[in-house]
Structure 1
């Protein structure tokens, strides 16, 4: 496990603060860290996520206010996608993730199953994340529409506030299961209570029902959905080449974590963290004997992770199998090398804006979205 000191940044040189410190840690702060080319392709208002339609070069982008956009990355043609759901927009909430089944890449035009997540309003000023499934219908060279969208999963319970929805969607590589990140909604203690799904990762069938073989399946109810718990605010999940699920999550004041996700594991929030509360109150650090799963890597100062993928292409030589994490406050693309069940930051690429999401294109280029108003869609390639 690698880590960064929680002591004052003034006590350490910049090269150390960029890295996850430890005997095996390394950060490339030399010329290689600048060997990427960044091209602005388009701008959007408060985007949150993007995904390529399988078998095409069309990128579907979610806007937090409740709109869907499409862009043909081969031609640059941009278009509106109709049929987006009504969302509870505000704070960290709104339209969230978009995901497709890679096996549906056979057809170059026509229908694809589309999964979307968003914040849904409830009674008495409450809200919660949901996942919906529908069909994306497109015409050749033309526009697209989402049809038959129905909610198939709801975060439980709905609570007050507008933060930490997480609602990231990933499918198992065999496409039998859907994994959904369910944030702690800034309530903290529910992350240690398995009678709800806050602060957890749930494992579902593709129709949103609890999958067989989940660690707490015998307890029934929403508990039967849970795969792991003790999480804070998960904003990135992906599978490595060994078919292992990893997630990256925000710590409080310090302590961002990269975790190897194991069934039935408790990752400690809010009982353990390498950060501290925003008011300065301490939180006990993780320890080998504390009974909780340990992070593979953690960051203080934080990188403020917003998304992650494992790189599978050939365009960036030597990156295959590495985790690529986008950062909000760090305004950087962070490359992380995996070593068994541990990890370390290998390089950091400042992009110059708060980064919201990352996707790999069909040719191996990286497509990065900024956060906020007038956010740029960036194509990142080797220099």
Structure 2
């Protein structure tokens, strides 16, 4: 682990983690929604910049903290998992997403994304490892993929992981703050990748100069999920306005920075406007920006009326956005004191909606109230 990341962890070693038991959440609050009253239980407290959560089939869950900690929460305890590589915990980079594949029970293999250090530069990378039987450490750790061009920018790592229906991996990559590079398929910036579990280009990819690329022209996709048919959607940050939900198609160009529904932070126009031949339109966009991060498409297990709806966390306005309809639009904002800078949103094993709050440093579970 890098010196900066290690020192931050050392300062945090004394932080007290609190975790709920199955029968006794740390706290429980009620909030209203279009589907009736919701109960929001605080499950884990004491988190430092949490980024992602994943559920283990034997019970318990894994949480990543951006500054470089992987945490295992189960049976009323939270423990750090040893065995991570060096991590560049700087700016928006660090330890980011975690993916627990469908066959974890057989292989105990998991995947994470992180900012891999290269001196003063860093690059989005994908890590594969096995979790020991006791959950104490990572084994057989290997970085299977690193983007082609590390940079000294601490911005726009993207970094969500999704297991494709065929078992390969979708990986979202931000433009790293270099806008024109999102239109250059000679690098990986501003793309969605599709790779094998060994890090190679997946069979059937479009065949760009960088063969791992599935789609391009993205700005900073920080949420990704499959719908019930296996179709991939991503949600990505715009600049000043223009946050987007995109339906990701093989080989498609999503336009950044040539077209956008936002403006530069200076107020100047972005590119050519909002449309151009050969460039895809978003399924939905927000203006003003909500700073979307974390995305889940709901199964309908506990709320049948929400089946197929998209849930997205807002880092800027402190709510969970619910989107619905054949023409996707935001139909509800689920909010309360606990939805403070929502970084990740996931459906749990029993149909509850789980989310990570950066502002509260906590993991929450939503169930019918």
Normalising TM by the smaller chain, what interval?
0.7 to 0.9
1:152 aligns with 2:144: yes
Structure 1 unmatched runs, 5+: 1-29
Is 2:162–2:171's contact at 8 Å kept on the other side of the alignment? yes
Q: CA offset at residue 359 of structure 1?
A: 1.6
Query: Larger relative contact order (C-alpha < 8 A, sep ≥ 6)?
Result: 1
Task: Give 3-state SS (helix, strand or coil) of 1:191's partner.
Answer: helix
Report the counterpart of residue 380 of structure 1 in structure 2.
Answer: 366
What is the 5 A alignment of 1:7-156? 32=34, 35-43=37-45, 44-53=47-56, 55-72=57-74, 75-105=75-105, 112-123=108-119, 125-139=120-134, 143-156=135-148
Name the CA shift for 1:273/1:127 in 2 (closer, same or farther; >3 Å): same
RMSD, matched Cα: 1.8
The change in CA–CA distance for 1:338 and 1:154 in structure 2 (over 3 A counts) is farther
Q: 1:171: how far off?
A: 1.1
Once residues 348 and 296 of structure 1 are traced to their aligned partners in structure 2, the CA distance between those partners, rounded to angstroms, is 18
| Partner SS, residue 181 of structure 1 | strand
SS at match of 2:149: coil
In structure 2, C-alpha distance between the alignment counterparts of 1:126 and 1:205, rounded to whole Å? 26
Where does residue 358 of structure 1 map in the other structure?
Answer: 345
Once the 2 structures are TM-superposed, how far is the Cα of residue 104 of structure 1 from its aligned partner? 2.9
- In structure 2, relative to structure 1, the CA distance for the partners of 1:50 and 1:31 (3 Å cut) is closer
Q: Is residue 308 from structure 1 mapped to residue 295 from structure 2 by the alignment?
A: yes
| TM-score using structure 1 length | 0.83
Corresponding pairs, count: 335
Alignment partner of 1:188 out of 159, 166, 179: 179
| 1:255–1:273 Cα contact (<8 Å) kept | yes
Name 1:334's counterpart in structure 2: 321
The correspondence of residues 237-316 of structure 1 with structure 2, limited to 5 A, is 237-283=224-270, 284-287=272-275, 289-316=276-303
**Structure-1 residue corresponding to 2:158:** 166
Any idea what the Cα deviations from partners look like across 1:207-259, whole Å, max 9, x if unmatched?
10011221125x4xxx1111100000000111111211100000000010000
| Residues 214-253 of structure 1 mapped to structure 2, 5 A cutoff | 214-217=205-208, 219=209, 223-253=210-240
Structure 1 stretches of 4+ moved >3 Å: none
Q: Contact 1:313/1:363 (CA < 8 Å) preserved in 2?
A: no
For 2:207 and 2:177, locate their aligned partners in 1 and report how far apart those are by CA, in whole Å: 24
Q: Distance in 2 between matches of 1:320 and 1:56?
A: 26
Unaligned runs of 5+ in 2: 1-31
Cα distance in 2, alignment partners of residues 34 and 334 from structure 1: 16
Contact 1:33 1:349 in 2 (8 A): no
Contact (CA 8 Å) 1:87, 1:94: kept in 2 or not? yes
Distance in 1 separating the partners of 2:143 and 2:84: 12
C-alpha displacement of 1:92: 0.3
- Residue 193 of structure 2 is matched in structure 1 by 202
Q: Report if aligned partners of 1:65, 1:95 keep a CA contact under 8 Å in 2.
A: yes
Cα distance in structure 2, aligned partners of 1:199 and 1:292: 14
Contact 1:248 1:308 in 2 (8 A): yes
Question: What is aligned with 1:8?
Answer: none
1:159 offset after TM fit, Å?
1.0
CA distance in 2 between partners of 1:166 and 1:276 (Å): 20
TM-score, normalising length: structure 2: 0.86
Q: Distance in 2 between matches of 1:285 and 1:34?
A: 41
Find the residue that maps to 1:117 and give its secondary structure.
strand
- Distance in 1, matches of 2:321 and 2:59, equals 25
Deviation (angstroms), 1:337:
1.3
In 2: Cα distance, 1:115 partner to 1:276 partner: 35
Contact 1:117–1:167 (CA under 8 A) maintained in structure 2:
yes
Cα–Cα, structure 1 residues 298 and 98, in superposed 2: closer, same or farther, change >3 Å?
same
Q: What displacement does 1:34 show?
A: 6.8
